[in-house]
Amino acid sequence: MYEVEVKCRADHDAVRARLSELGADRRETVEQTDTYYDAPHREFAETDEALRVRREGDATTRLAYKGPLVEDASKTREEHETAVADAQAVRGILDGLGFAPAAVVEKRREVYGYAGYTVVLDDVADLGEFVEVETEAGEAAIDDAREGAFELLRELGLDPGDQIRTSYLGILLEDSQ
């Protein structure tokens, strides 16, 4: 399965107002701490991959692998994610296999649903406000899913041409250099 995502900087108040006008379904607000790991056997920065442990609040931990971007028009990539019961055990497994924490991204995330897409308003520590529009699609449906995400960005008053294809981790690492 592929995550088809477009992301751009945006004023949350304006987007929130537009989501309300459209009748979008507000799902939740969560605090997330994402710890990204470096692999001992290859450079994820060079292969455009990511291994992430996400902690939501005090209750949920998820492990995710994100493959390299598959196209130039959006931030679409293969993604595999699963819930884990014991965050400490996952960290111990990764440490034992030689994976080392590379960076941490903290954000407050408001999640909405609209027209088959998830719209996320992210307030990322040290980076600011972003909007993501995303959905999952099989390989044959990527183009249609991307065009739908672009159309939804336009409905929200945003320009798909302003999208950022770099991950929050990548932006943080660029800013620190």
Q: Which residues are catalytic?
A: 36
Q: Six-digit token pair at 29?
A: 């607000």
HEC profile of 100-166: EEEEEEEEEEEEEEECCEEEEEEEECCCEEEEEEEEEECHHHHHHHHHHHHHHHHHCCCCHHHCCCC
Q: Six-digit token pair at 17?
A: 């107002």
Burial of 117 (0-12, 13-18, 19+ CB in 10 A): buried
Name the 3-class secondary structure at 159. Answer: coil
